[in-house]
Amino acid sequence: MTWELFVFLFLAASALISAFFVVDSKEIVHSVIALATCFISIACMFVMLSAEFVAIVQILVYVGAVVVVILFGIMLTKREIMESGKR
Amino acid sequence: MNLFEFSYGIIHWLVDLVNNLWYWLGDVLPWVFGDFFDAVGDFAASHGHIAVMAMLVEALIIIIIGLVNVLNFIWIDRKFMIITPAKVDRMGFLLAPVIFVGSSIAAMCTIPMGFEFYVGTNDTPYSSYPLPGGPEYPGVPASALVAFALFAIAPFAILTAGWSSNNKYTLIGGLRSAAQMMSYEIPMLLCVASVVLLAGSFSFFGIVEAQHDIWFAIPLFLGFIVFLTCLVAEVEIQPFDLPEAEAELVEGWTTEYGGARFGLFMMTGYLRGYIGGALAVAMFLGGWHGPAIIPDPIWFLIKAYIVFVVIEWMRWSVPRVRVDQILNIGWKRLLPLAMLNLLIAAILRTLEVF
């Protein structure tokens, strides 16, 4: 098992698991954090494919846009965390 | 007497002590190995052996002093300082400092301080974008873009921290920070675009090399001023420190943090100030170029610290702007000026001045 295969498997698992959490988590901001993890894993995969420029643009555009997604998530959803005593 | 001599003395004393017993054993048991005892004893008493052992002891003493301090701080921190409020969102609350510190330190690593002083994974030079087949530079590929990409992750961490702290002041601070950073990033990246246009390279090495004759701060003076203003807004220093305005929001988006986590935020704030200085130096102030009396990395650090001091100087002499003014300044003043600067850079490039 070469180290490239090992790193690829790690990144693939990270991307898939975080993509699952995007769909699965109840809290919308948790989804967005998982989405950012997914994007960063994919950017690392682009680096492994020696496409560094695509990786940089992936981080610059997508991870930057995640902030806007959080803003919309906060703006358009009901905020129950403030009131609920469970957490 | 320094630490090395001290440990040398201790080792020498110990070796003498053990060697007495050792040679006595060699006298008592001569039939076992013959000259073995003498050889080992002479080696142990030799200067080289004692010096190496003394160095090890010196390192051990230093490490132990450091570790005892660290243990002390960890103990104090866990005993008194680390407070995770009961109703915070734990995932975001614990993850935000990690993202903030990690992205900022990664951004710092991409900035080289000289041709022999950079962080790189291997010795293979990368071609400098956007020109294929152009000159090749070592280190990180397209390092200027990487630095700004990593520098731009910070509002994500700040917004996560502000949201997950479950407090209206932190949420307002986080939202202000997101609005401010995203609107000031556009003129900043336009200034970077003008520099890249003049230098013809996305690598810090190429950009600094292009400033060998004249610093970019002179033809692009307007861009330099716009860049510095945006930098102050990006690192949230005084005229633009709305996200942590003490008089309005309690402590901004760091209100609920305490102990080492707040320390990480504070440290990273100043670290981002230094990164801002380093970016301004590499982009506009000629990087590590200077008279050869002082080596390159020292020149780079001196210039970066001067820019950092200027930024801090602004902090304690300028009052804070209002939240509506900050967006007006960003979108109505700095953005047209940055576009004008890009136009100037394009004209200079077309006239082949550079």
| Per-residue pLDDT tens over the stretch A48-81 | 887 778 888 888 888 777 777 777 777 777 666 5
Q: Are B210 and B198 in contact (CB under 8 A)?
A: yes
Q: Which of B91, B156, B182 sits opposite A63 (nearest CB)?
A: B156
Diameter of chain A by CA atoms?
Answer: 51
CB contact under 8 A, A87 and B160: no
Looking up tokens 């921290």 gives B161
CB contact under 8 A, A52 and B171: no
Domain ranges of chain A: 3-76
C-alpha to C-alpha distance for A31 and B89, rounded to whole angstroms:
13
B153 touches chain A (CB under 8 A): yes
Architecture of domain A3-76: Up-down Bundle (1.20)
| 3-state class (DSSP) for residue B307 | helix
| 3-state class (DSSP) for residue B137 | strand
Q: Which of B126, B142, B160 sits opposite A29 (nearest CB)?
A: B160
Q: Are B202 and B128 in contact (CB under 8 A)?
A: yes
pLDDT tens column, B279-325: 999 888 888 887 878 888 888 888 899 999 988 888 888 888 888 88
CB contact under 8 A, A59 and B129: no
ipTM score? 0.80
- If interface means Cβ-Cβ distance under 8 Å, which residues of chain A face chain B? 27, 29-30, 33, 36, 52-53, 56-57, 59-60, 63-64, 66-68, 70-71, 74, 81-82, 85, 87
Lowest mean pLDDT among A48-57, A78-87, B255-264: A78-87
Looking up tokens 């930057």 gives A64
